[in-house]
Amino acid sequence: MSSTREDVKRKAEEYLSKLKSDGEIREIMARLQISLHEYRPETSCDVEGRGIYYSLVDLSSEKYSLTDQRAVIVRPLRDVILEGLDVESPWSLASPDEDPHIALIAKYGEDRGAYIRVRSHNRVGPVRTCYVTRLTGTAQLVHNVYVVEDDAELQVLSTCTSSRAALDVYHISLTEVIVGRNSKFTMVMYHNWNETVRLWSSLRIRAGPGSKIVIVYVTHSPIRRMDDQVIVELHENASSTLSSIIYGRVGEYRTETTAYLRGRESSSIIMSRMLGAQRARIESVSKIVAEGDESRGHIECLGVPIDESSIITSVPVLEAHKMNVQLSHEAAIGKFSEEEITYLMSKGLSEDEAMQLLIRGFVSIDIEEIPQTLRAIVEKIVEELVRRSAL
């Protein structure tokens, strides 16, 4: 273990020892101290054997595909740190003393997660990552680090899921993404849980000058509670498009997306689509902080309650630190109109078919920057969401 890793772990231990009132964190710590020593399950993940991939099942069972390290490295993060291959990148965008969940990852995670690095002048993807939980009462900790060097591109398809039999699961993840100059990073995240799962995840991205970031996050499964955070730091002439699609049912869903426009002429678009049903509580907080000259940003938050039992909250925040920036937002919450449904039914559709068609149009996103290799996957996920809405 490197001295840097020792410092991180010591800081996490100090931070956690000072927590007095967070009973939930204490509960997770107790689970981890038992589970990490008892379970060593065999890996089972459907991405294996198909191109470039990384998989983590339950707490410690990892697999990854062999790759040509002249173009791309895909390894368990733990191995990279222990071998001292790239000790500067892990923990460069997050600190274990800023949040108890991150502290848990630093102390107990043993850096379980993927390390992906794309060398300069290479285009790689999609790399498939898969995180599965199958054990009741498990806390799964994940720490990923992705590095995209100058003039390079990385595409990632990330899937997180739990078996129906795995009850009371807590998935906690931190992903750090470091993007160099004139590069592109695209990530499609798809979550499919059961209604007893609790989720906390944080995606941190630093984009170098002239780079592009495209993020698409989709979930349509019931869940006990979800807290999803995306923080992007954009430097000169860098841009990001950050999209989330949530079809919430039963549980609590909260997304918090923040784009910091650090550099001159940097720009960001944040889009959220929210559908609420079956007593779901959905909150979307979107924030753009414009610090660079001539930076631009737009927020679009749209929500549709499917029934009377759900609550949707949309909070757009614009913060300008310069006079010559351009920031705007659009936020709207409301059900589909009776006129739209009646019109579609007049064309021969049933009421359920009309509703599904409206939902498909509402959640469909047309982002030009999504590569063709991932566009078909996004469309397939959206179709599954529409299918679930009819159940």
Per the domain annotation, does 355 fall within a domain?
A: no
pLDDT of 44 reads 56
Per the domain annotation, does 59 fall within a domain?
A: yes
| Three-state secondary structure string covering the chain | CCHHHHHHHHHHHHHHHCCCCCHHHHHHHHHHHHHHHHCCCCCCCCCCCCCCEEEEECCCEEEECCCCCCCEEEEEHHHHHHCCCCCCCCCCCCCCCCCHHHHHHHHHCCCCCEEEEECCCCEEEEEEEEEEECCCCCEEEEEEEEEECCCCEEEEEEEEEECCCCCCCEEEEEEEEEECCCCEEEEEEEEECCCCCEEEEEEEEEECCCCEEEEEEEECCCCCEEEEEEEEEECCCCEEEEEEEEEEECCEEEEEEEEEECCCCCEEEEEEEEEEECCCEEEEEEEEEECCCCCEEEEEEEEEECCCCCEEEEEEEEEECCCCCEEEEEEEECCCCHHHHHHHHHCCCCHHHHHHHHHHHHHCCCCCCCCHHHHHHHHHHHHHHHHHHCC
pLDDT in tens, 133-181: 888 888 899 999 999 999 999 999 999 998 888 888 899 999 999 999 9
Which of 25-39, 60-74, 91-105 is predicted least confidently? 25-39
Per the domain annotation, does 243 fall within a domain?
A: yes
Per the domain annotation, does 341 fall within a domain?
A: no
Most confident region among 152-156, 300-304, 372-376 by mean pLDDT = 152-156
Kindly report the pTM of this predicted structure. Answer: 0.91
Per the domain annotation, does 260 fall within a domain?
A: yes
Total number of domains in the chain: 1
Per the domain annotation, does 384 fall within a domain?
A: no
Per the domain annotation, does 276 fall within a domain?
A: yes
Q: How far apart are CA 39 and CA 3, in angstroms?
A: 29
pLDDT of 217 reads 93
Task: Please report, rounded to a whole number, the percentage of residues in the chain having pLDDT higher than 90.
Answer: 54
Print the domain residue range for 226: 3-336
pLDDT band at 184 (very low <50, low <70, confident <90, very high): very high
pLDDT band at 257 (very low <50, low <70, confident <90, very high): very high
Per the domain annotation, does 363 fall within a domain?
A: no
pLDDT in tens, 198-210: 999 999 999 999 9
